[in-house]
Amino acid sequence: MAQATPSPLAASAAVAGSLRAARNAAIAAIALPPRIAARIRESWWFALLALALYLLLVLYTYDKNDPGWSHSLAAANVHNAGGVVGAYIADLMLYLFGISAYWWVVLCAAAVTWGFRRIESVPETDRRSYAVALAGFAMVLVASSGVEALRLYSLKVILPHAPGGIIGALAGDGLASLLGFTGGTLILLTIFVAGFGLFTGISWLTVIERLGGWLEDAYVYLVAKWQERGDRQAGEQKSLMLGLHRDVFSESARASAARMLRHAHTSRPSVPSAVTA
């Protein structure tokens, strides 16, 4: 009796499983002890933190009189706090992206946060999620540069190029020439929102749902407070009216009692005088 021949798909799956098992075994064989691996991840985290701070420093202290990639200038004194290297890095990034170059600082900060959560242990994650996050960051960077070039062209900031940089000019002007000024801005904002969701993992539907819940709770709270205030004012007014009625009743009761006393005194018969013997 002939044996059934396995299908090519099943054979491919079996080979892929074998390769995956072999790779995991090789990684386990050369893996470092957990304590040493944690210390290495901690060192990488400090390196990411230093990179984020250095990038923020060189962008913030950019000076157009420093030597840079976009112009040829020999300067005796470098004003950038990052030195000559920092001056070139800041000039290149601001030339390409404008003020939107600060998004690279945000990326480094996100990497610092991500690394801090994985110092002691590394959870099993899908590496494709990192690619999706980087793609979202690229969308945010390009869209931000384009909006900056279209809408913030009159921004009074010292830059080696116009606001938005070269990338902003290509993205913004290209979309504006095809879709118009307003249409291009709308498309760039849509790309920015979509990219920001991919980069941060935020669900905009969840944000809208929570915002609607907060607004509903605030409305219910204000209505309850308004009704409570109305009830308190009605109670105070009722107490005031009862007090006035009580005072009026007490005054009328005292007046009636006084009249009754006077009437009793005037209507009492006089005692006859004693007859002398």
- pTM equals 0.65
Written as six digits, the tokens of 270 are 């006089």
**Residues near 196 by beta carbon (within 8 Å), at least 6 away in sequence:** 136, 140, 202
Cα separation, 105 vs 144, in Å, equals: 14
CA distance 79 to 187: 39
Q: CA distances (Å), 88 to each of 47, 60, 61, 158, 266, in order?
A: 21, 13, 12, 15, 116
DSSP 77: S
- In order of 21, 67, 94, 145, the CA distances from 151 in angstroms are 54, 29, 17, 10
pLDDT above 60 (res 3) = no
Report DSSP state, residue 100.
G
**pLDDT tens for residues 96-128?**
999 999 999 999 988 888 877 766 666 666 667
The dihedral region occupied by 252, where left means phi > 0, alpha psi between -120 and 50, and beta the remainder, is alpha
pLDDT (0 to 100) of residue 147: 93
Binned at pLDDT 50, 70 and 90, residue 186 comes out as very high
pLDDT number for residue 276: 46
- Neighbour tally for 166: CB within 10 Å: 16
Q: Which residue has the higher pLDDT, 29 or 115?
A: 115
pLDDT of residue 120: 64
Question: Domain locations in the chain?
Answer: 33-202, 206-253
Tell me which H or E stretch contains 3: none
Structure tokens at 41: 């991840």
**d(C-alpha 198, C-alpha 181), whole Å:** 26
Residue with tokens 């990338």: 167
In this structure, is the dihedral angle defined by the CA atoms of residues 96, 100, 106 and 111, taken in order, positive or negative?
A: negative
Task: Please report how many Cα atoms fall inside a 13 Å half-sphere around the Cα of residue 111, on the Cβ side.
Answer: 20
Asked if pLDDT for residue 1 goes beyond 80, the answer is no
d(CA 91, CA 58): 9
φ/ψ region of 202 (left if φ > 0, alpha if ψ in -120 to 50, else beta) reads beta
What is the C-alpha R_g of the chain? 41
Query: Worst-scoring range by mean pLDDT, 19-33, 43-57, 79-93, 239-253?
Result: 19-33
